Amino acid sequence: MVNFISLISGSSGNASVISDGRTHILTDCGMSGARLKDALKKIGIAPEALSALLITHEHIDHVRGAGVIARRYSLPVYATEKTFSALNCGRIDDALIRVIKPDRDFEIGTVGVLPFSIPHDAADPVGYNYFAEGEKYSLATDIGHINDYLLSHIRSSRAVLLESNHNVGMLEAGSYPYHLKRRILSDTGHLSNEYAAKCALELVKSGTERITLGHLSRENNTPELALLETHTALTDAGINVGTDMRLAVAKRFEATRI
């Protein structure tokens, strides 16, 4: 049985785990080592049992504890070359560094992994496809917009962790400075609820059974708004949410099964 779990998700920190029971892969570590240990314990995985850490990009809400856990558990760290160059999380031993490239697949234990480029304002950011027990699972957050390339990677996934970062009206009316609003709304910023809903519809048409909306902004979104927009788009297209597919929102500070 494959478990794909968001440990934490949001603008304050992100981390997820995929496990087939033999290989346990952590993607991002936007929390302290102590908090990660506690979060893993709650889902029945010891940090010493982790097989690898994959990094999507170097922003602090994704790598806050990456250096600490790599050093503490001698954990191999996978990221693009430019991401490693941009990392600011303390020294990672050269023996633990695994340089990856978008669209070049590799294996970690019994799980296949394919990184793909994502449109975000980082050095060389990626999302990930995971292949386990004959199924594909995908993580696609920190994506400024949806394009055909990205869709081609995440279509036909059994389950997807998909960004639904902000409600545009809340963002535009909120207290963020103008330059930050422009950054978030740009093609290399974050995905709005509206475009997450459109992407979710494409995914369900391709056979995706479970979509979990993640990386929600604390200031410019609510779980209820994110869920409502995608739920409405799906039901308007004749999809029965709960029967044809499952839709959820990843909790900010608690584990959520994707």
Give the strands of the sheet with 246-249, arranged side by side: 106-108, 111-117, 126-132, 135-140, 159-163, 210-214, 246-249
Alpha-carbon gap, residue 116 to 127, rounded angstroms: 5
3-257, which class in CATH?
alpha beta
Residue 125's nearest CA partner among 69, 184, 80, 61 is 80
114 three-class SS: strand
41 three-class SS: helix
For 146-186, what is each residue's pLDDT tens digit? 999 999 999 999 999 999 999 999 999 999 999 999 999 99
Q: Which residues of the chain have pLDDT under 50?
A: none
Residue 33, pLDDT score: 92
Residue 171's nearest CA partner among 157, 185, 161, 160 is 185
Residue 184, pLDDT score: 95
Residue 11, pLDDT score: 87
Residue 90, pLDDT score: 83
Residue 81, pLDDT score: 97
Residue 201, pLDDT score: 97
Alpha-carbon gap, residue 62 to 9, rounded angstroms: 10
Residue ranges of the domains in the chain? 3-257
Residue 172, pLDDT score: 96
For CA atoms 194, 195, 201, 204, give the dihedral sign.
negative
For 176-221, what is each residue's pLDDT tens digit? 999 999 999 999 999 999 999 999 999 999 999 999 999 999 999 9
Residue 98, pLDDT score: 98
Output the pTM of the full model: 0.96
Residue 258, pLDDT score: 86
